[in-house]
Chains A and B, each alone.
Chain A
């Protein structure tokens, strides 16, 4: 009871922070001096996110494509070890990229799709860990996680390619 209450409070605080911080901190109001520092960290998080998605994709989707699903053993250990880091990096990616200054129009559109897919991937992985859904629900979430992950992997790959071959004035 207490852990659930704390979790609900934490989520509410997070939502509230985004609402307040996002509403008051528009791109036009952010001072220019913060741009280069933030860009460095944002780039770092972005690379880390690409690495995390790569590992998760190899372990998860790779297992599926090679016909060895479900994951087990060391593959599962690696996947579950990287997953929390992925969740944090996606959050930072969302907070840092929401203003759209770092991306071109197409990349910005991909950014929002990535966030949407990531949200589905994270929730479809963690909701079944709660004592809420039975076997049919577990199957459903497993399939949602599987296909959302596939979509996320493709979107991130496209976004990364777009970032690599971006025009120089959008650094």
Chain B
């Protein structure tokens, strides 16, 4: 009997050991693993969709059965608030408030020229509800768990995921976990970005959004309106539990699974891929010229995608999800030659860094080695590859562009006009942190702030609107009653510049009471302040635009700068020197800063002008040089032959 008991224990023990060893199993094959799997809730309990009140699908609970979610969730797309090295500047989040004409670049990463959301009174909750249509989850959208235990029989599924009961909003909406399926869904039918964005921003259904985006089911709230409605009525799971028959307990939020998606064992098929398709990236990382819709077909795609490459072929990562951004100095910053090999130069030329041949040789994916016929090598030292090969062909003025981050491209809305704020200019040729000239996108900040010394601190637009009162009539309805400005059709009134009278009254209103400094208005590249009751405008560092380098779309060699000769850049019309960059935004044309491209780089204009003019004589220089060389060669040849003849004659006579 004892032996039987021991054998039984051994059998059970081995089963437990087998179950534990299932975690982080890897197929390690290029062939995809078919994810016909159970779904799990936040406590990693398997979900039975057939029960009356099934548990809610949790990305973390499901994916972390086999994948190290805790490693992935510190990757580049999620670690923006962790204070990690941020690398070269990237695209910011742009906070819009039409009433105060606020256009403020925000970033948790601390890039110079951006502001932390807290600097303008924006909490993590505010940040998420403003920008979550294009947030992948995690980061500040996934606040730390509280110590409160989960209820075992929740009156609503909202209580299934423990959150901080004191945090406003999170205790109703839940957390926005890293949603792996945003990138790793195998096709467009599997994952609905727009639906996800709607659930988050319009209804605050954070923790339900991954399931809804996957089409696993639908959420119903009583009263209708999603978790936002419950939040607005101050509902919490604790209040509902405290009054079993009261109005709070009648409010609820439920998720109903589409039962056809599941088999008898509660498995469902998730189309999961290792390497995301371009369409997954495009939802957030799209950009298009700010033109009318009927001109969309004018622009070409990136040459690499036309050649069959996927975004993730170059922008790779391992389990740590530290996605390669692809700029030249990134490999050095990360001390990884493989990262260098994924930059433009690394792929097309190879690198001089030590490392495996596969990483240092160049020519990856059959990347052609550029000949750069006729191009003096100094250009390769002073210009980034993108200067000639990326972005739209530069014209007399930069064009305006709309992006996924700033204009919520990918999120359907009724109207998106070319004049919508923020107006982002591209390409603007500036020197990067490595000193090389590269094309950038640029946005000019527009905001109210307090000037202390030489620093300007932004003021919360809500406080500005409140102080200004009638001087700044309300435009649009901000959350929670309305939707964020970036996903709303923009009221033309919010695009109009403020009048001098409005600015004066608002500055005066802000100066009343106990201001935290001298109130100023940043707009059009200038700082506006009150002096003797009148608005005075000066150029100021705080009014300078924020710019970030662009890498795409890459044009083919036959459409690169210089293909038509040196005069593509070295002429008095060369955009890289003489293009006109105007401060864009809600500012009148006569009040804004306008600078030449060379001025944007703090370079004088005399030398570029003279140098450009000298290129008119370049053909003559070549003619003169070749003809003079021919004459000198003729003299050398003639007298050389004479000398040879003299030697031959002397030898002949000497015999």
Contact = CB atoms under 8 A, between A and B. Distances in A.
Interface of A: 3, 6-7, 10-12, 14-15, 17-19, 22-23, 70, 72-74, 76-77, 80-81, 83-84, 87-88, 90-91, 94-95, 98, 112, 115-116, 118-119, 122-123, 125-126, 128-135, 138-139, 142
Contacts of A122: 625, 628-629, 632
Contact of B624 (A3, A84, A118, A119): A84
Contact of A15 (B370, B382, B634, B639): B634
Contacts of B624: 84, 87-88
Nearest to B372: A135
9 contacts: A84-B620, A88-B628, A91-B632, A94-B636, A95-B631, A115-B636, A119-B633, A130-B622, A135-B370
A87 B633 CA distance: 12
Contact of A112 (B629, B634, B636): B636
Contacts of B611: 76-77
Contacts of B614: 77, 80-81
Given A122-B625, A126-B626, A94 B373 contact: no
B618 interface: yes
B373 A118 contact: no
A63 B21 CA distance: 67
Contacts of B374: 128-133
A115 B632 contact: yes
> Which A-B residue pairs are the 5 nearest by beta carbons?
A18-B634, A131-B374, A134-B371, A11-B630, A126-B625
B308 interface: no
Nearest to B635: A94
B376 interface: yes
A119 B637 CA distance: 12
A17 B412 CA distance: 76
Contacts, number: 130
Contact of B373 (A10, A17, A19, A132): A132
Contact of A14 (B382, B618, B627, B639): B627
B269 interface: no
B629 A87 contact: yes
Nearest to A93: B632
Given A22-B639, A90-B632, A129 B618 contact: yes
Contacts of B377: 135, 138-139, 142
Contact of A98 (B373, B622, B633, B639): B639
B623 interface: yes
A154 B420 CA distance: 65
Interface string B375-404: 111101110000000000000000000000
A22 B619 CA distance: 29
Nearest to B382: A72
Contacts of B610: 77
Contact of A135 (B371, B607, B622): B371
B582 to A, nearest CB: 28
B382 to A, nearest CB: 8
Interface residues of B, number: 38
Interface in B91-108: none
Nearest to B624: A84
Contacts of B628: 87-88, 90-91, 122
B636 A119 contact: yes
B626 A10 contact: yes
Given A12-B630, A83-B625, A134-B372, 14 more contacts: A14-B631, A17-B634, A18-B638, A22-B634, A70-B378, A81-B614, A84-B625, A112-B636, A116-B636, A119-B632, A123-B625, A126-B626, A129-B374, A135-B370
Contacts of A87: 624-625, 628-629
A112 B640 CA distance: 10
B455 interface: no
Nearest to A118: B632
A10 B627 contact: yes
Contacts of A17: 631, 634
A120 B362 CA distance: 34
Q: Which of B377, B623, B635, B637 has the most CB of A within 10 A?
A: B635
B319 interface: no
B533 to A, nearest CB: 47
Nearest to A135: B372
Contacts of B623: 6-7, 10
A88 B562 CA distance: 29
A125 B625 CA distance: 9
A135 B380 contact: yes
Q: Which of A6, A15, A77, A118 has the most CB of B within 10 A?
A: A15
A70 B607 CA distance: 17
A122 B614 CA distance: 18
Contacts of A91: 628, 631-632
Interface in B587-640: 607, 610-611, 614, 618-639
A3 B635 contact: no
B607 A77 contact: yes
Nearest to A91: B628
Nearest to A89: B628
A90 B371 CA distance: 33
B380 A18 contact: no
Contacts of A138: 372, 375-377
Nearest to A85: B624
A94 B631 contact: yes
Nearest to A18: B634
A132 B371 CA distance: 10
A64 to B, nearest CB: 13
A62 B636 CA distance: 29
B634 A7 contact: no
A118 B611 CA distance: 25
Q: Which of B374, B380, B607, B618 has the most CB of A within 10 A?
A: B374
B629 A123 contact: yes
B373 A22 contact: no
A112 B639 contact: yes
A34 B633 CA distance: 25
A134 B354 CA distance: 26
A128 B377 CA distance: 10
Contacts of B631: 14-15, 17-18, 91, 94-95
A18 B346 CA distance: 51
A105 to B, nearest CB: 13
Contacts of B622: 7, 126, 129-130
Contacts of A94: 631-632, 635-636
Interface string B450-472: 00000000000000000000000
Given A77-B607, A84-B624, A139-B377, A23 B638 contact: yes
Nearest to A12: B630
Contacts of A88: 624, 628
B635 A115 contact: yes
A130 B621 CA distance: 12
A14 B631 CA distance: 5
A168 to B, nearest CB: 27
Contacts of B635: 18, 22, 94-95, 98, 115
A169 to B, nearest CB: 24
Contacts of B370: 134-135
Contacts of B639: 22, 98, 112
A18 B633 CA distance: 9
A7 B626 contact: yes
A17 B635 CA distance: 10
A132 B376 CA distance: 12
B617 to A, nearest CB: 8
A49 B19 CA distance: 89
